[in-house]
Structure 1
Amino acid sequence: MSGDRKLELSADEMRALGYRVVDMIVEHAAALPDARVAQSASRAEMEARLREPAPAEGRGWNSVLDRVSAEVLRPMTHNSHPRFFAYVPGPGNFVGAMADALVSGFNPFAGAWAMSPGAAQVELVTLSWLREACGLPATAGGLFVSGGSMANLTALAAARHHLLGEDFSRAVIYTSDQTHSSVQRAARVLGFRADQLRLLPADDGFRLDPARVQAEMDRDKAAGRIPFCVVATAGTTSTGAVDPMGVLAEICRAHGAWLHVDGAYGAAAALTAEGRAALPGLGEADSVSLDAHKWLFQPFECGCLLVRDATLLRDAFRLVPAYLRDTDLSEEEVNFRDWGVQLTRGFRALKLWMTVQVFGMDAVRDAIVWGMRLAEAAERELRARPGWEIVTPAHLGIVTFRWRPAEMEDAEVDEEQRRITAALAADGYALLSTTELRGRTVLRLCTINPRTGEAEIAETVRRLDAIARGPG
């Protein structure tokens, strides 16, 4: 294909390309349950396949898609696979994927109301659904961001601006050693010193201990420091543990501190009765992060931040240089560029909005509950087999466990968990991951994909058991 300075295809070529892309996605989804969960390749292999000078002449979209299929998308771990139980799955859904295609094709600028009022209004409506689910008041608002890392960063930036102003040298942030590493990264990016972030030992249930937080705050205040912010977690990555948010909110109010809840994993469960029961105090937070690309089944990237007083986001981030005044029209019209870090931002809300419109919120709720049931099923399967120890019972779709032969020392048992994980990955049927709890390596299943069946859970446990009892 010769060069085209307009970077255009004909209408017929665009249709043909689009149809083939859709066919590739559908074929991938249909074949996924029978495929290996993960395939990888070394850096040397990928360099050999893909390293080249930029082509001066176009090669035609058909041959390029052939190459994408064979060389780019083949060696990958399928986060949306029904037997991907590692880390936190990204189940996605086809409607969300098509919403992303629409967003890419129409390319709306979602930073200013005047540029795309439909995008802004859909974002406002979708945020209101999540706000209500989390139990936050009508004053709350927020925005969609790339994920939990950016949501946590944005929340801490808004809190710092509101409570500390320009001088935050004496401020202290309190959280547990089970908190996601993105909180540490956010503090670093925002200029907090390492000694301003207190990673407190979690209690026996892997939760942030309010008594320890209270004691640390009192000690810091007596020493002339400022208790600034507590970061609680609604669904830790390792165990699904939920920090006592209501009690922590009371402590924060007494000290004039901010309570941020990292609910990137678990907050979406508040859409269900079971989830609300597991998340008491969520609505008392000053801010909540939530990842729709986890337990709301959206393609990456679809994170969200909600702030109890939405005006605090605008106070922290709004800047209107001369070249943007034409789009700064009315207080009623929300310019999301004023509510976060990004000026240029994509229309992330559409995929969640379309998913709910197509399937209905009841179906989304049922899918969330199914994830909890699958973790409970995995726990039952494990308890039925001798030699397996449940470390933390199924909670919010996560169960942790350990193969524990009686004759082995702890260090040997740790190595056994790593051997089992590697052997299951090599088997290809399912994938899980390890974590560390109380200094010991444990196995972990996260079961939030609504397309996973109970039979697949049972077969995964059967294969784990066979690997564990096989030669080491």
Structure 2
Amino acid sequence: MRSHLLNDTTAELYRSSVTEGVERVAAKLATTTRPFTGVTPDALSPTVDAVDLDEPLQDTIAALDELEDVYLRDAVYFHHPRYLAHLNCPVVIPAVLGEAILAAVNSSLDTWDQSAGGTLIERKLIDWTTGRIGLGPAADGVFTSGGSQSNLQALLLAREEAKSRDLSKLRIFASEVSHFSVKKSATLLGLDPQSVVSVPVDREKRMQTVTLAEELRRCRENGLVPMAVVATAGTTDFGSIDPLPEIAELCAQYDTWMHVDAAYGCGLLVSNKNRDRLTGIERADSVTVDYHKSFFQPVSSSAILVRDGATLRHATYHAEYLNPRRTVAERIPNQVDKSLQTTRRFDALKLWLTLRVMGAKGIGSLFDEVCDLAYEGWQLLAADPRFDVVVEPNLSTLVYRYIPADATDPTEIDRANLHARKALFASGDAVVAGTKVGDRQYLKFTLLNPETTLDDISAVLDLIAGHAEQYLGDTLDRAS
């Protein structure tokens, strides 16, 4: 079995095996005509269940043949222009190259003696990102697994910086459409269920700062401690950006940690024309970015950035076998001193190669394209009497729902939209997401593929309308 270890004696096997895998994926990408086959869990499960993991195939070609049946054939392909569902982007080739390199070398980014140059590359990218944000010379950060982990670490730092050790008194303020990880993080940090105060949003789905000011005032009057305000720069459902300058002023007034969840909106950091939409982010104490959303990177590629690098000490623990205290005096750069993780992939390499091949302007132009497409899609929806669209997009998300000409019971309209989404997914012709606005069921386009066109959007809207109309027609037939 040593013949399968990657080393100097197996370099040729490595080359041929990876080449075979790449050839198959390339062929799949070239011939995929739909984002999904429509396979159901009941249909695919028996194929996977039939695999005996205790009986190896002993052959790479056979294993790849089997992989076609259990994965490649029925995968959901984000590169297809009619995948319009979640915050999953098509990936750029330099980043995929980085993924292949980092997997083979397998550096672990916790300590210098496991990564060397990888440590310096990650630190350079952190400095580059904090510079783009404008956090100042003391800024620092670390790569993470994703936005949820970044938000958790930011709120950990905020908790430790708060002027109270009584956790029951701490409060976090976030908009009613902020990411669910805010509440999840509060629970993980030992805070009371009521510690997260939900602040209403305006018609554009942006946090109402007048209400935030009132809630902060009430918090102080009741002897509680405003631990953090979480502003969102790109909400998951609407792509809305909270009024960052106004929130920054309130945080300064109440001496409250300002965290900006820019997991989605971070693409504006490299935008060639929309960077001003993030004005105010430079005043944050911490920022979440997900390069694997709007920088077109493979999962995972994310980071938590902080204005004052000294605050990262709240995640620091020393172990004699790993990062003993003496390494601090020796000025050895151990990234584990900043991270919630120990073993950690060299995900920074993907972004590094992307910037070295494409440049920031290249990434920004791709994100600008999808933002422009979303605006065109919003105009299309606003002019189409079959649909109700919620807000004009700040980024690249459209939330809408089908409304029949002879408007029926709102509950039936909800069911028609749910059916349309499920029927579309089952057909494999396109993939769209769903959400609720108030109590009503809506559909969602998350546009992150520059290859998607307005014609694609129009065609998918026609498919949705057709499925919804068929559902309503069938319901009417059954009733009669």
Report the TM-score range of the alignment, normalised by the length of the smaller protein: over 0.9
Q: Which residue in the other structure is 2:455 paired with?
A: 455
- Compare 161-170 and 243-252 and name the one that shifted more: 161-170
- Compare 115-124 and 139-148 and name the one that shifted more: 115-124
Which stretches of structure 1, 4 residues or more, deviate above 6 A after TM superposition? none
Q: Give 1:411's aligned amino acid.
A: T
CA 251–374 in structure 1, closer or farther in 2 if over 3 Å, else same: same
Q: CA offset at residue 185 of structure 1? A: 1.0
Q: Give 2:172's aligned amino acid.
A: I
Q: Is structure 2 residue 79 aligned with structure 1 residue 71? A: no
Q: Which residue in the other structure is 2:94 paired with?
A: 95
Q: Is structure 2 residue 417 aligned with structure 1 residue 420? A: no
CA 322–228 in structure 1, closer or farther in 2 if over 3 Å, else same: same
Q: Which residue in the other structure is 2:301 paired with?
A: 302
CA 306–431 in structure 1, closer or farther in 2 if over 3 Å, else same: same
CA 348–155 in structure 1, closer or farther in 2 if over 3 Å, else same: same
Q: CA offset at residue 143 of structure 1? A: 1.0
Q: Which residue in the other structure is 2:12 paired with?
A: 12
Q: Give 1:187's aligned amino acid.
A: A
Q: d(CA) in 2 for partners of 1:6 and 1:372?
A: 46
Q: d(CA) in 2 for partners of 1:120 and 1:69?
A: 36
Q: Is structure 2 residue 445 aligned with structure 1 residue 445? A: yes
Residues 249 and 259 in structure 1, CA contact (< 8 A), matched pair in contact too: yes
Residues 40 and 76 in structure 1, CA contact (< 8 A), matched pair in contact too: no
Residues 270 and 276 in structure 1, CA contact (< 8 A), matched pair in contact too: yes
TM-score relative to the length of structure 2? 0.91
Q: How does 1:138-157 map to 2 (within 5 A)?
A: 138-157=137-156
**1:29-75 deviation digits (Å, cap 9, x = unpaired):** 2233x234354432674255335554255522221111112213333
Residues 420 and 465 in structure 2, CA contact (< 8 A), matched pair in contact too: no
- Compare 23-32 and 341-350 and name the one that shifted more: 23-32
Q: Which residue in the other structure is 1:317 paired with?
A: 315
Residues 318 and 337 in structure 1, CA contact (< 8 A), matched pair in contact too: yes
Residues 266 and 291 in structure 2, CA contact (< 8 A), matched pair in contact too: no
Q: How does 1:4-153 map to 2 (within 5 A)?
A: 4=2, 7=5, 10-32=10-32, 34-37=33-36, 39-42=38-41, 45-50=44-49, 53-55=52-54, 59-153=58-152
CA 360–6 in structure 1, closer or farther in 2 if over 3 Å, else same: closer
Q: d(CA) in 2 for partners of 1:61 and 1:23?
A: 13
Q: d(CA) in 2 for partners of 1:58 and 1:465?
A: 47
Q: d(CA) in 2 for partners of 1:319 and 1:280?
A: 35
Q: Is structure 2 residue 294 aligned with structure 1 residue 268? A: no
Q: Which residue in the other structure is 1:259 paired with?
A: 258
Q: How does 1:165-204 map to 2 (within 5 A)?
A: 166-204=165-203
Q: d(CA) in 2 for partners of 1:443 and 1:293?
A: 23
Percent identity between matched residues is 29
1:304 partner SS: strand
Residues 240 and 398 in structure 1, CA contact (< 8 A), matched pair in contact too: yes
Residues 288 and 306 in structure 1, CA contact (< 8 A), matched pair in contact too: yes
Q: Which residue in the other structure is 1:432 paired with?
A: 432
**1:307-356 deviation digits (Å, cap 9, x = unpaired):** 1111211x211222222356825575432101121121110100011111
- Compare 450-459 and 371-380 and name the one that shifted more: 450-459
1:328 partner SS: helix
1:407 partner SS: coil
Q: d(CA) in 1 for partners of 2:217 and 2:272?
A: 36
Residues 378 and 461 in structure 1, CA contact (< 8 A), matched pair in contact too: no
**1:110-142 deviation digits (Å, cap 9, x = unpaired):** 112243221111112222232232232222121
Q: Give 1:50's aligned amino acid.
A: D
1:392 partner SS: coil
**1:284-321 deviation digits (Å, cap 9, x = unpaired):** 111110111111001111111111111211x2112222
Q: Give 1:239's aligned amino acid.
A: F
CA 338–269 in structure 1, closer or farther in 2 if over 3 Å, else same: same
Residues 134 and 267 in structure 1, CA contact (< 8 A), matched pair in contact too: no
Q: CA offset at residue 267 of structure 1? A: 2.1
Q: CA offset at residue 14 of structure 1? A: 1.8
CA 123–11 in structure 1, closer or farther in 2 if over 3 Å, else same: closer
Q: How does 1:232-247 map to 2 (within 5 A)?
A: 232-247=231-246
- Compare 119-128 and 180-189 and name the one that shifted more: 119-128
Q: d(CA) in 1 for partners of 2:116 and 2:5?
A: 28
**1:354-395 deviation digits (Å, cap 9, x = unpaired):** 111112222111100001111122223323433222221232
CA 439–323 in structure 1, closer or farther in 2 if over 3 Å, else same: same
Q: Which runs of 5+ in 1 are unaligned?
A: none
**1:178-203 deviation digits (Å, cap 9, x = unpaired):** 01111111111111110111123322
Q: d(CA) in 2 for partners of 1:62 and 1:273?
A: 45
1:82 partner SS: coil
Number of residue pairs aligned between Structure 1 and Structure 2:
468
